[in-house]
Amino acid sequence: MALIKPTVEQCVIYNRTSSDEQRQEGYSIEYQESSNRAYAVGKGFIVNKVYNCSESAKEPGRKVFNEMLGHVKKNKNIKHIIFKKTDRSCRNEVDAANIIHLALKTDLNFHFVEDGMVLNKDSKPFEFTIFNMNCSMASMYPRNLSIDVKNGYKQKAAEGHYPQKAVYGYKGEKVGKKSYLKIDETKAPLIKRAFNLYATGLYSYKTLAKKLREEGFVKSPTQPVLKSTVEHILNNPIYMGDFIFKGEYYENAKHEAIVSRELFRQVQNIINKNNKPKQYKHNFLFTGLIKCEHCGCAYVGEHKIKKFKNGTQKEYIYYRCTGNKGGKCAKTKKYTNENKIEAEFIDILKRLVIPDEYCTKVREAIRFELENAHASNMERIAQIEKETKTLRERLKKLLIMRAQDEIDALTYKEQRQEWQERLQELAEINEELSKNSDDILNTSEIMLELTQNLAGWYIEQNTDKKREIINIVCSNLSCNEQNTHYELRSVFKCVLDFNKNKNGRTDRI
Ligand SMILES: [Zn+2]
């Protein structure tokens, strides 16, 4: 190390920190200043000025650094510049070259306290080399840091793990240094309930938030369930086992889903419908919902004014086949009254109502059905378990064979991979077989909630809401000039069948 002449001389102190380092221990401006001052006192220097720089050092020509050099050049009494470490002085090649130039060509001494190094014109060549190396490492540091962090997150995401802080309903579970999502059993019920209720189509974000509050749900002891809470929950695919990170969609993540995919999509369909801009000036109830039984074309609605003999008139909405595909229907002018079509739908809704006392029976019936289905699945599950066991034993044997050098590394690796993939596949099938019954139970619960006073509730809704209900209950509507035919979705068919048996009569749809 170069010698410093033992005289009372002046110095400046240069402290630098970037915004993300400020929080780290040993990097704060305050810490640097106090330890640099202590160093100056120890050397017998008078501190002429302290420069604090909080900007990023990634770009050369930093303002404060240049200001400091300018000040030093102007004040010939200042002989020393004190830095805590090399990486505090520079993080780019330009600054480093500048320091070396000044150290060699002037009387300035550059102190790097923690590195135990002073650079001046008496420094040995190897000391400049060390300084240069330190600087290039320092200049790599900010770039590496950001690349590491980004790559680390991206890598984790690519491996199927959500790389950020756990969202509501999950908690981070530490495994080694990494953290993985795990269902937070105290919070998951709110998520499930929100999805199940919204899937009925009876709620908006706002009314659902209210309903959840009424049911006693809270986001946390201090946070109530708000419209925004509900909106965030219902639109986050993380709850069905996917996630979005940095604008990219990651499917089939490793964390456990809180709701089924089917339920999530059902909710999304309703959200899309609720937020769809109105396409028609006259928002006819059945526009786009009914197909012609003769030609398959869509039925369209029209306003018709009927004049009565006494001079009064009344407006009606009629539907007719567009006849776009030509043929007989192209010439047809047969109209069907909207009231008539709707009355038929309301009649169906009335027949879908299950009296309270039967709900329990329906639940029992569904469970019974599921158990039957489960029994038939049992055989498949038993097969899977048997195969799984065999594979695990084979893997053990394989490992022993490899340990005793009976097989080579490549054979071992390939065989092991094949069997492990099969194990994974079996685990997935197994999960699918046991998950199915949960989905059916969910759907049946939604159905049961819907069927309480369905018709009365339907009549009170506006056109948009009514269209939605028609869509939930029916999958296809078709018309001929006499009748409308509704094809009920399977869950509602079950209700109808149930009511038929209960009443001992047969209703025709
Ligand atoms: Zn037609």
149 and 195 share one domain: no
| pLDDT tens digits, one per residue of 158-173 | 888 998 888 899 998 8
Residue 369 pLDDT level (bands cut at 50, 70, 90): low
Beta carbons of 49 and 33 less than 8 angstroms apart: no
CA-CA-CA-CA torsion sign (128, 131, 137, 140) = negative
Give the residue-averaged pLDDT of 98-110.
89
DSSP 3-state of 254? coil
Beta bridge partners of 180: 173
Q: Compare 257 and 3 and report the one with higher pLDDT.
A: 257
- Whether 280 has a pLDDT exceeding 50, the answer reads no
In a domain, 388, yes or no: no
Residue 55 pLDDT level (bands cut at 50, 70, 90): low
- Whether 109 has a pLDDT exceeding 80, the answer reads yes
Give the residue-averaged pLDDT of 51-62.
63
31 and 151 share one domain: yes
| pLDDT value for 425 | 82
Beta carbons of 10 and 78 less than 8 angstroms apart: yes
| pLDDT value for 136 | 65
User: By percentage, how much of the chain surpasses pLDDT 90?
Assistant: 18
What residues have CB less than 8 Å from 191, skipping those under 6 apart? 168, 169, 233, 239, 258, 259
In a domain, 52, yes or no: yes
Query: What's the CA gap between 458 and 455, in Å, rounded?
Result: 5
In a domain, 501, yes or no: no
| pLDDT value for 199 | 93
20 and 138 share one domain: yes
Output the CA 272–ligand 1 centroid distance in Å.
29
| pTM (2 d.p.) | 0.33
Query: What's the CA gap between 80 and 385, in Å, rounded?
Result: 76
Query: What's the CA gap between 145 and 151, in Å, rounded?
Result: 10
The pair of structure tokens assigned to 261 is 């995919």
Give the residue-averaged pLDDT of 92-113.
85
Residue 151 pLDDT level (bands cut at 50, 70, 90): low
Q: Compare 343 and 89 and report the one with higher pLDDT.
A: 343
| pLDDT value for 441 | 66
In a domain, 355, yes or no: no
117 and 180 share one domain: no
The pair of structure tokens assigned to 213 is 């509050």
What residues have CB less than 8 Å from 371, skipping those under 6 apart? none
| Alpha helices, H only, 2-124 | 29-43, 63-74, 86-89, 93-105
In a domain, 313, yes or no: no
Beta carbons of 437 and 373 less than 8 angstroms apart: yes
In a domain, 267, yes or no: yes
Beta carbons of 1 and 117 less than 8 angstroms apart: yes
32 and 148 share one domain: yes
Where is average pLDDT lowest: 164-173, 362-371, 396-405?
362-371
Output the CA 290–ligand 1 centroid distance in Å.
11
- Whether 283 has a pLDDT exceeding 90, the answer reads no
Beta bridge partners of 321: 299
By residue range, what is the domain housing residue 245?
Answer: 170-275
Question: To the nearest whole number, what is the mean pLDDT of the chain?
Answer: 80
Give the residue-averaged pLDDT of 204-219.
91
Beta bridge partners of 49: 12
CB-based neighbours (< 5 A) of ligand 1, an ion: 292, 294-295, 297, 321, 329
- Whether 364 has a pLDDT exceeding 60, the answer reads yes
49 and 148 share one domain: yes
User: By percentage, how much of the chain surpasses pLDDT 70?
Assistant: 79
For residue 172, report the phi and psi dihedrals to the nearest 5 degrees: -85, 130
203 and 109 share one domain: no
121 and 216 share one domain: no
Query: What's the CA gap between 36 and 45, in Å, rounded?
Result: 11
183 and 85 share one domain: no
Last residue of one domain, picked from the residues 212, 244, 275: 275
- Whether 505 has a pLDDT exceeding 90, the answer reads no
Q: How many domains does the chain have?
A: 2
177 and 133 share one domain: no
Taking Cα atoms as reference points, which of 85, 86, 29 lies closest to residue 54? Answer: 29
Residue 508 pLDDT level (bands cut at 50, 70, 90): very low
**Kind and range of the H or E run holding 486:** strand 484-488
Beta carbons of 113 and 36 less than 8 angstroms apart: yes
- Whether 200 has a pLDDT exceeding 50, the answer reads yes
In a domain, 111, yes or no: yes
In a domain, 165, yes or no: no
Output the CA 481–ligand 1 centroid distance in Å.
10
149 and 194 share one domain: no
What residues have CB less than 8 Å from 247, skipping those under 6 apart? none
Q: What is the DSSP letter of 298?
A: B
Output the CA 333–ligand 1 centroid distance in Å.
10
Q: Residue 199's domain is classified under what CATH number?
A: 3.90.1750.20
Last residue of one domain, picked from the residues 255, 275, 295: 275
Entry field: residues in the chain: 509
Output the CA 269–ligand 1 centroid distance in Å.
29
Beta carbons of 170 and 183 less than 8 angstroms apart: yes
| pLDDT tens digits, one per residue of 220-249 | 887 889 888 899 899 999 999 999 887 678
| pLDDT value for 11 | 94
Q: Residue 140's domain is classified under what CATH number?
A: 3.40.50.1390
Output the CA 99–ligand 1 centroid distance in Å.
87
Last residue of one domain, picked from the residues 275, 294, 309: 275
Residue 219 pLDDT level (bands cut at 50, 70, 90): confident
Output the CA 329–ligand 1 centroid distance in Å.
4
**Kind and range of the H or E run holding 458:** helix 454-459
